[in-house]
Amino acid sequence: MNTSIKPSKWAVRPRVERRAFTLIEILGVLTIIIIMSALAAENVLESVKNAKRSAEVTSLANIVTAFQTAALKSKSLPAASNWYVPVFNTMNVSPDLITNNSSGWQRAFLYDPAFNVGTTTSSVPPYTQGNTGSVQPVMTSARLLVVSSLAGSLPTIATDAATFSNLWNTAAYAVPPGWTGALTNSGADLKIQRLNLSSLFSCVVLENNDPTNSAYYSVETNAVATLAPATRQQMWLINTSVLNFYASNNVNSLLSRTYVNGSVGFTFEYGNWGGTLQFGNPAWFGQMAYSFLAAPNPPGKLQRYPKQQSVADAMSLYLYYFGQWSLDNFSATNPAPAQSLSAAAASTLTNVAWDLIK
């Protein structure tokens, strides 16, 4: 018989004491939450700043690229005070997006004070290219800067050579010596975009070797210019410029046209333009070939082959087949047809060239 007594559901259970948080504990938790929130907010703010800095670097790079594009297209350079005009026209954006950065602070633009470009040795931008281009050699002084601050307005920037040099040589995350204000301790917010304009220009020499006739030429759509007999014109033109050459007896008769994409020179003699003064230029090779074909046969020679044309034909074949062989990576273990043809053309070239002079 089970004599145990089951507890009644109405039995009184022991009371359990439950302790609340103390004020000190609550304050401690709140302090931790505040500290963590502050750290998180600081990280977010720094991420936003870094994103704006990176965006500004990209924007400045795009700005100078547009500046170069505009110069090549218009064959001109703006005054420093209007530097942004060709940029926003090229990028097709609002002017204030060029003059100001994303923080609303105005950007600064500076030419190197030593940069001279134009028809005199002391000319400075603005510059619009004419028939004489720039008479001043455009070298290392052809530099410009676009300066931007994300931390506040830029200080007044002097336009002297020392100031420009200091800015040009300022390292990343640094501030030029002597600067005060918002950027004093915030070099990361100073962004400087540099551009050397010398690569936009090429030296062009036009020489009139004709003792009696004037030579006529023009640059782009400018009026026809005259180069007097036995004179020389040296100038620096913006790349992709068009050089037009005219007949000596008719300035309205266009003989030829070429694009400037590197330093080059042309000569005028006996009523015709031709050749280049720069050794190694393709035009120089063409002029030499023309002179070779136009020359008479050496006297007293009995050639088996018809004059210089045979040499030119053999040379053309050799150059062509050699080029084809190069496309086969000059294979020697498994000779390609182009190698055999190159060898045959070389043999023919040797025979006809030797036959011309022996």
262-273: per-residue pLDDT in tens? 888 898 887 788
Give pLDDT, residue 16. Answer: 56
Query: 91 Cβ partners below 8 Å, 6+ apart?
Result: 62, 63, 66, 98
> Where is pLDDT greater, at 249 or 213?
213
Residue 5 pLDDT grade (very low, low, confident, very high; cuts 50, 70, 90):
low
Give pLDDT, residue 277. Answer: 43
Supply the pTM of this predicted model: 0.67
Residue 281 pLDDT grade (very low, low, confident, very high; cuts 50, 70, 90):
very low
> Where is pLDDT greater, at 318 or 168?
168
Q: How high is the mean pLDDT of the chain?
A: 83
> Where is pLDDT greater, at 44 or 122?
122
Q: What is the mean pLDDT of residues 202-216?
A: 91
β-strand 215-219 against 225-227: which pairing, if any? antiparallel
Give pLDDT, residue 149. Answer: 94
Residue 302 pLDDT grade (very low, low, confident, very high; cuts 50, 70, 90):
low
Q: What is the mean pLDDT of residues 324-344?
A: 72
Q: How far is CA 301 from CA 56, 307, 309, 347, in A?
A: 74, 10, 16, 21
Q: Of 207, 229, 197, 219, which Cα lies nearest the Cα of 278?
A: 207
Give pLDDT, residue 276. Answer: 55
Give pLDDT, residue 115. Answer: 93
